[in-house]
């Protein structure tokens, strides 16, 4: 079951549609040029600002490279009729450019909504968005790759695991950095060096992928089902251990007029004044002990809910909250914080009326569900 970070405390969610998504991240020195290999498959992209030479990772991401190469050479067997036999990228524009992030192109409509007439799978490897000049597929979510791609201006680690990286800039990062929105791709030329590269038949590789797609998808569904079964069993086992502990803590707790019950696990910390920004670790449970969300790594792992992409996006960092404000927190959670000091830990038992009430939350928290939070309040981030 997939949860968005902080979803269970906040009231809003955000999604990505058909594009790479910008997120604020700390800047690092970024490499701008990679050393060219003596052999391999390369793409020379001539633009209205100059040339960009890209090395394509055809061994690590064969289907994605086959897609790009066959589109560039006009040999793609899956394109819509109007694109058959045409060099797909020649004459298209960079329809989306965000300074200090990336340039995006490959849309035949020039609006961000176009595609070549099909969608294909992700090929996520251990490659990371750790420098400038990374070539990757734009998408609208898993398995929605088409013709749109982007090239980065800098390291963009929040994209790790979400977009297929299939190449790198060898020369011309200065051109990438100079490109503005609506600049053109004049021509893409594919260069093959070495025996292996020359044997790579892009049209055949891509055609074979679609011919075997149903078999591959069935195997993936079976693997996903098996993984889910293991995760569900781990979740149930952890919940069975947690429930008696939570029941015991509630029985020893202090009730408030609103119906919230809280138990102090570690107390005595100095109370923060209104307006103070505190940092919070939390774990949220249903009454049966099932974890629905946490920004604590060890808890998430115990319940089989650890998400590497969330870690890469700093989703396991403590969340900031300004004392004295309601913010976007549910009422019972905010009330629980009023009973805490720095470095305190409590367990708060929230009745549905002080949580998500009749509406529930995102199909994860049922309507009229009582919920439980373990909370730790820190003065500073660790």
Active site residues: 96, 101, 104, 139, 150, 159, 163
Partnered with residue 188 across adjacent β-strands are: 45
Angle at the Cα of 3 from the Cα atoms of 278 and 126, rounded to 5 degrees: 100
Burial 159-193 (b: 16+ CB within 10 A, else e): bbbbbbbbbbbbbbbebbbebeeebbbeebebebe
d(CA 82, CA 84): 6
d(CA 158, CA 23): 7
d(CA 155, CA 100): 10
Contact status, residue 153 vs residue 100, Cβ threshold 8 Å: yes
CB atoms within 10 A of CB 260: 24
CA 348 to the chain's CA centroid = 30
Contact status, residue 346 vs residue 264, Cβ threshold 8 Å: yes
Give the position of tokens 């119906």: 259
Cα separation values, 42 from 54, 168, 198, 218, Å: 5, 9, 11, 33
Residues contacting 31, CB < 8 A, separation 6+: 131, 132, 133
Contact status, residue 209 vs residue 120, Cβ threshold 8 Å: yes
Contact status, residue 81 vs residue 174, Cβ threshold 8 Å: no
């Amino acid at each position: 079951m997939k949860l968005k970070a902080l979803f269970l405390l906040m009231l809003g969610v955000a999604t990505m549609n058909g594009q790479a998504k910008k997120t604020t991240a700390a800047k690092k020195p970024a490499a701008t040029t990679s050393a060219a290999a003596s052999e391999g498959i390369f793409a020379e992209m001539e633009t209205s600002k100059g040339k960009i030479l890209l090395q394509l990772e055809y061994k690590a991401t064969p289907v994605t490279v086959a897609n790009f190469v066959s589109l560039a050479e006009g040999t793609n067997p899956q394109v819509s009729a109007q694109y058959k036999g045409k060099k797909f990228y020649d004459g298209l524009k960079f329809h989306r450019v965000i300074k200090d992030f990336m340039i995006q192109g490959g849309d035949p409509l020039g609006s961000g909504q176009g595609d070549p007439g099909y969608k294909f799978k992700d090929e996520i490897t251990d490659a990371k968005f750790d420098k400038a000049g990374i070539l990757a597929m734009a998408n609208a979510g898993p398995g929605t790759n088409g013709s749109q791609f982007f090239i980065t201006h800098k390291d963009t680690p929040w994209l790790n695991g979400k977009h297929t990286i299939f190449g790198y800039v060898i020369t011309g990062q200065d051109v990438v950095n100079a490109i503005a929105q609506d600049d053109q791709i004049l021509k893409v030329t594919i260069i093959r060096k070495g025996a292996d590269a020359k044997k790579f038949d892009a049209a055949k590789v891509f055609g074979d992928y679609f011919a075997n797609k149903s078999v591959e998808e069935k195997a993936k569904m079976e693997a996903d089902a098996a993984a889910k079964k293991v995760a569900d069993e781990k979740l149930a086992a952890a919940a069975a251990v947690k429930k008696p502990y939570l029941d015991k803590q509630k029985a020893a707790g202090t009730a408030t007029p609103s119906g919230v019950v809280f138990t102090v696990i570690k107390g005595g910390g100095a109370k923060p004044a209104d307006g103070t920004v505190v940092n919070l670790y939390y774990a949220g449970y249903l009454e049966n002990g099932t974890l629905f969300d946490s920004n604590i790594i060890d808890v998430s792992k115990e319940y089989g809910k650890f998400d590497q992409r969330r870690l890469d996006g700093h989703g396991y960092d403590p969340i900031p909250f300004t004392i004295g404000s309601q913010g976007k927190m549910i009422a019972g959670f905010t009330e629980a914080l009023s009973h805490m000091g720095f470095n305190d830990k409590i367990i708060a038992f929230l009745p549905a009326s002080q949580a998500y009430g009749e509406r529930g939350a995102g199909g994860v928290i049922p309507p009229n569900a009582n919920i439980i939070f373990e909370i730790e309040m820190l003065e500073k981030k660790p």
